[in-house]
Amino acid sequence: MTPQEKMRIVQELVPGKQITLAHIIAHPDPILYVKMGLTADEAETADAIGILTVTPAEAAVICADVAMKAAGVTLGFVDRFSGTLIVTGTVSEVESALESACAYARDKLGCAVCPLTKT
């Protein structure tokens, strides 16, 4: 390509208000906790990992608060820059926490919310 033929592409991220991933990992292998940077205590005491991806990213902090108030989960990770939220606890606690966070995001924040999945 000659300099005159070069095409310039500008990519821009314009996130909507949405939860694009809501997933529960029931009874994960303990090594998964370690690889995710979670503590050894969480690997020994938790039966499930819950993961949300939220935009705008700052809404992950709100979802973390709602999730922790809704059930006895432990906050594993929250990132206000990427919108990632990870909670741990029993399968029923994690499910209740994620359902509550998704409902709040949908009903109060006006987010589009994907279905909650589980493996």
Q: Which CATH architecture has domain 18-118?
A: 2-Layer Sandwich (3.30)
**The whole model's pTM is what?**
0.83
State yes or no: cis peptide before 28, omega within 30 of 0: no
In whole angstroms, give the CA distance from residue 90 to residue 26: 8
Query: Across all residues in the chain, what is the average pLDDT?
Result: 89
**Which position has the higher pLDDT, 79 or 7?**
79
pLDDT in tens, 80-99: 999 999 999 999 999 999 99
Report the pLDDT value the prediction gives residue 10, as an integer from 0 to 100. 62
In this predicted structure, the answer to whether residue 51 has a pLDDT above a threshold of 80 is yes
In this predicted structure, the answer to whether residue 2 has a pLDDT above a threshold of 70 is no
Query: Which phi and psi (to 5°) does residue 61 adopt?
Result: -65, -40
In this predicted structure, the answer to whether residue 9 has a pLDDT above a threshold of 70 is no
